[in-house]
A and B are shown apart, each in its own frame.
Chain A
């Protein structure tokens, strides 16, 4: 599996670390958001098949954070963006 880092070019997946999905938005209104919003952000995952957006960290390379769209059923990398 290869990820095309915008800075480093196509690199093996072992250089990257998957950290979390990028489908959820972090509550932005400081600490005022209800606990339910935070709980949803921290804990709830849909775990759906198909194309999903994920955060990958180029730990063994340029240390960029990337937003990667990946088909979690086939592992096909569909898109790589900077966050």
Chain B
């Protein structure tokens, strides 16, 4: 117990006590306290255990840079590990726990890691990887994973809500200290919209701001990207868990940006400099002034510049005994001597603290004086400062290099991203008066930590240098320095200083530290926002969704759509339902929503020219009122998509694409029409969502549709032959289009009505078809019939197949130019030995073909060398049993051959006969049934 709340002072609200728990024990703080300030006020110094060595750790800083005081806050699913106690605002009921301990915090059984330290030194991982892999997997990794590491996630779904928003402003000012407030008010004179953000909670008097300055507290600008800034606004992290949004990701679009981000203090390095009670001097000043908390009762102040001189008086005024001031500078300075004299404190000039004494907490400081003599001074607080570093992370996110300023012994921003400026301490103004850079005073007894969060010591840096790693980037990777979640905010410059000193280089010659986004850890939930679970992306429902839902359909995601997969009756499983649906279509009549196929309306005098150029087959001679199947290639000659296109008039076509490629084909067509051939007079519009389109298939399909058509004779065979289309009205005046096309192989019609009539059309079909035994069918039945008929679809149009491979070579026109023609003619793409589409049927009844299985010659060894193709699609046909489509080398020439279907993953291994792709009704007679 060493810290205490001062009788007066600070900006916290002493009239509002706040009760919270830490490691199960109840404590009280005040409104405005952070978890760190409230625990320090209660005399707590031990906050957790370190990453590798499980060393006791306290609080180093008072802000976002904290590497030591990482705790686990809240309960249950709300639990969040690795939270900086310096950034947690306390509220009534807050519960927090120390982490990375095994057993009690004061008697961590894994502290034995300290004794195994040689195993955990820098480079251990790299060297260990060279040992036998089995050692690593069975021994080292499990042990190290258990021993090293920080907090653990709750393992439960994140119950919080996160928002995303965009802020537009003419000028963004980051940091609402004195420099930032002045910059914001100055900018507000000319900029209409100024946005001022500050990482911390408002405490004390609110800043006086011009009217056109919008202020967002508790908001961290964590990244700069190509002209925009990303910020995280913490909306309710300071409140008990509740229903409201927790955090808001703010994208800031700013005309220009002023960084008033201040400067971060770097510690001085000495033995056991990680002991609880060793703190940054400026952090101590902050706890005194902001929270009215003295972090100790007897202090040693260790410095190498004049700024901490003020702390000497502040500590004395707070009732903290300052037992010594240790200044690395020979002779110290007038300012320090004066402050020390006023407080009655001895100054040790040209001296260093060689190590902190004590175990779980600091009990004293060992000092080596200028004359070499060593003495020990009692202290429970060692406030130290090695100087400040301008906080310029955001200037480096786009790659700009910081530059060393010898006068202030600090890195300043180099070339700035366009529109960014830096002011105040962040620009190095007024920092580090009288500084004399001091990196490390030699190898002291006890570990000297450079990077506290990743447990990297001066000795680790020395080891890296000894092993030949002398560039900062190599040292960083070898030691993991600066690679923890704090990104080495308190470590990076010290590491460069130590490295320069060890290698005899000038620090100015070394590459200054560049940061990557995010500046502070950001919850993945905040980046994801509302886009998770069912809201991951919008759900696109078909126009008959309501109808299908009422019938108890099971749905499946197909591309962006939710489609009816099958309509189970009674206890039917998917296969029984799908097979019944196939039988109904093949025997009577069924219908299926095919709205999801892309529909593109193409109009204009040159519409036919565009079709001629984007399809491989010919279109010029397609009469009005007819439909044709088309194949589209990519520029590289491979098959892209297929579908039917209907000619509604001389100058109007409606194209269908596959569901999966609808967006892509639209983009491709527009590229062709606007970029390749802008001279074409043609307009394109996606009408996929405008029309509900239902396929009515089966021998009774015409009978059903005749009952719906206002003029039934319009759809009789003479008026509407196979591959015909026309506009008509149905059900008493509803406009519709009818296309006599078939995917199932049965007599079939696709009927399209304005999308809002989708459910109505489905119900009308059910009523009209009742006497014929009509039933809706889903994508499973559609798939079975597709495979029975050997139509290539998504699994065959996989981006690696050609028209030849798909058995569609007859469609490649020789009379015209079209996209992909030249490249499709390459010899290798026309090689008959390429895997090409065939059908497969098991030789022995009972064997089941599965998509993904490999196809090999019957007697060949089961090795990759003998792999000749793969099963692309498979179905359980109610009439044919297990059937498949496969891409088989030289396939069309091998009909009748017996091959082996081998599925090592799912233990399938049997013989199958190669057959033609069309396995059901190869003559096509059922189209006219």
| A positions within 8 Å CB-CB of B | 1-2, 12-13, 17, 19, 26-27, 30-31, 33, 35, 38-39, 41-43, 55, 57, 59, 63-65, 74-76, 83
Contacts and interface: CB of A to CB of B under 8 A. Distances in A.
Interface in B213-243: 225-228
A64 B635 contact: no
Contacts of B678: 83
B821 interface: yes
A50 to B, nearest CB: 15
B823 A39 contact: yes
A63 B666 CA distance: 10
Contact of B822 (A35, A55, A65, A75): A35
A64 B674 contact: yes
Interface of B: 225-228, 253, 398, 418, 635-636, 667, 670-671, 674-676, 678, 817, 821-823, 825-826
B675 A55 contact: yes
Contacts of A83: 674-675, 678
A1 B228 contact: yes
A55 B226 contact: no
Interface of B is mostly: mixed
Given A1-B225, A41-B635, 6 more contacts: A31-B822, A38-B635, A38-B823, A42-B636, A57-B670, A76-B418
Contact of B670 (A39, A65, A76): A65
Contacts of B228: 1
A17 B667 CA distance: 10
B683 to A, nearest CB: 11
Given A1-B226, A57-B670, A65 B675 contact: yes
Nearest to B826: A35
B671 to A, nearest CB: 6
B635 A65 contact: no
Contact of B817 (A12, A30, A64): A30
Contact of B671 (A38, A41, A42, A55): A55
Contacts of B825: 31, 35
Nearest to A34: B822
Contacts of A17: 667
Nearest to B225: A1
A59 B675 CA distance: 15
B822 A27 contact: yes
B635 A63 contact: no
5 contacts: A1-B228, A30-B817, A41-B635, A65-B671, A76-B418
Q: In the A-B complex, list the 6 residue pairs whose CB atoms are closest, starting with the nearest.
A: A1-B226, A30-B817, A83-B675, A38-B822, A75-B226, A65-B674
A4 to B, nearest CB: 13
A59 B822 CA distance: 29
A16 to B, nearest CB: 12
Contacts of B636: 42-43
A17 B671 CA distance: 12
Of the candidates B253, B398, B418, B823, the one having the most CB atoms from chain A within 10 angstroms of its own CB is B823
A19 B676 contact: no
Contacts of A76: 418
Contacts of B671: 19, 55, 57, 65
Nearest to A13: B226
A35 B824 CA distance: 10
A13 B678 CA distance: 24
Contacts of A30: 817
Contacts of B821: 31
A41 B635 CA distance: 9
Contacts of B226: 1, 13, 75
